[in-house]
Amino acid sequence: MAADSSKPSVLIFGGLNTCSRALASFLVPLHSDPLVSYLRIVDKYSVHPPTTLEIPIVEYRQANLTVPAAIQAAFDPPEGNTAFDYVFDFTGEVRNDRSETIQINTTFAVSRLLALEASKRQVKSYVRIQQPFYETSAKNAASEKDDIKPVEAMGIWWHETLRMLASIEGLNLVILRIGFVYGPYTDFGNVISAITVASVYGYMQKPMKSMWSPGKNPTNTIHVEDVAGGAWACANWVANHGRKKADELAGVPIPFHNDKTKVKEVEGMLPHDEKPVAPIFNLVDDSNSTLVSTGQIVSSFFGTTFEFFNLIESTVFKLLDDLEDINEHHVEGWTEMLSKSVPPITNTPISAYMDKYTLEKHVVGFDNSKIKQIVGYKLLRPDFNHANIKEVVDKWKAEGAWPNIPST
């Protein structure tokens, strides 16, 4: 099959556990023309290829992204093709329980190797997905100019990665800073956790209860299809303008939020007093999701209610700080649902276990007006609602990964 050279050829690195399947389906849709001439997905995972990967212009390659030679090889185009045009960097550790060294090696160092190679090969765009590991003000949605605080080692190294990327000479970088992502086949993150746990409370016919008082804490959401659509729109935008113009139109300084002593230890890290500039766009939906609204929408979808523990109960829980205790009921309920499913489910990527990060209180509110104004992006799924949750659950059911409980 001859490559259609009027369309860009694309490399996606990482994200098979997060958003890159959605991007692949967006770029190479099942029932319409592909947006790309060629697509290569490179990740550390060995995957049972999703349907899109059976199309001739899509190639999946398993590679160890901490190895420079493997990255160089991944950038070599297939025989007879021209160099790759666009790179989507969806790499980065999303598990909060990993050590700081692992965060440095798999988030910061991997992205650095990718970006250096991409810059050397003069790719037309390099899109970095930034996960919402930040704490923003509860009162005002953060704009791209606001200095917001990354949370925990995971957040600090994801943020440091942006400073490093911004400083790489000649890299046609654009950063897409997303909210809490959810959507079909997205089995990681706080939203699928909330959906799963709500289903357990619905099944048990008990209210779902939160430890955090009913303030208006924003926990802004984004559908994975918009992560794909937004990443594509940003890639075309920076490819049209080039980095210099992109910085003029949308560049913001990225402040230091790390330990100064690390600068000497970590290769490629910028001194604390440098403020590199890069184009950054927030991407969240229009529903202004909060802890309360998300809790209410997911619990009502499963026919139950969202409530709060009273002060004494929640103090006891916080003192206990015992993940196992808090998780016991969810996990037991979910296990029962899986066994009662028709047919029973023995293997699913979805878990009702909430890790420390998921259980903690988060305040993430982003203003999404800049990407609409400057890139002209139009949200495909502006609302976090029952229809979008239903689609997620129905698709998991079709995969045999979500319990099918006959109604009584």
Ligand X SMILES: *[C@@H]1O[C@H](CO)[C@@H](O)[C@H](O)[C@H]1NC(C)=O
State the residues that interact with ligand X by CB under 6 A: 64, 66-67, 101-102, 105
Place of tokens 């960097």: 89
Nearer to ligand X, 15 or 132 (CB): 15
Nearer to ligand X, 266 or 323 (CB): 266
Strands (E), 91-148: 125-130, 134-135
Nearer to ligand X, 72 or 82 (CB): 72
Tokens of 140: 């005002």
Nearer to ligand X, 100 or 146 (CB): 100
Residue 358, judged by CB atoms within 10 A of its CB (0-12, 13-18, 19+), counts as middle
Nearer to ligand X, 6 or 101 (CB): 101
Nearer to ligand X, 29 or 68 (CB): 68
Nearest CA to 125 out of 165, 86, 181 is that of 86
**Is residue 293 within 8 Å of 287, Cβ to Cβ?**
yes
Measure the CA dihedral 207/296/180/225, to 10°: 120
Alpha carbon distances (Å) from 84 to 36, 37, 123, 406:
11, 10, 7, 49
Least gap, CB of 294 to ligand X (angstroms): 35
Residue type present at position 394: D
Nearer to ligand X, 53 or 102 (CB): 102
User: Could you give the residue ranges of the DSSP H alpha helices within 126-170?
Assistant: 152-166
**Is residue 152 within 8 Å of 198, Cβ to Cβ?**
no
Least gap, CB of 269 to ligand X (angstroms): 13
Least gap, CB of 264 to ligand X (angstroms): 14
Alpha carbon distances (Å) from 91 to 264, 317, 376:
24, 34, 26
Nearer to ligand X, 93 or 226 (CB): 93
Nearer to ligand X, 102 or 405 (CB): 102
Least gap, CB of 208 to ligand X (angstroms): 38
- Is the sign of the CA dihedral 348, 353, 357, 359 positive or negative? positive
Tokens of 121: 């090969």
Q: Report the alpha-carbon distance of residue 206 to residue 215 in Å, rounded.
A: 22
Least gap, CB of 23 to ligand X (angstroms): 23
Least gap, CB of 105 to ligand X (angstroms): 4
Least gap, CB of 125 to ligand X (angstroms): 27
Nearest CA to 132 out of 282, 15, 289, 355 is that of 282
Least gap, CB of 74 to ligand X (angstroms): 14
Least gap, CB of 360 to ligand X (angstroms): 24
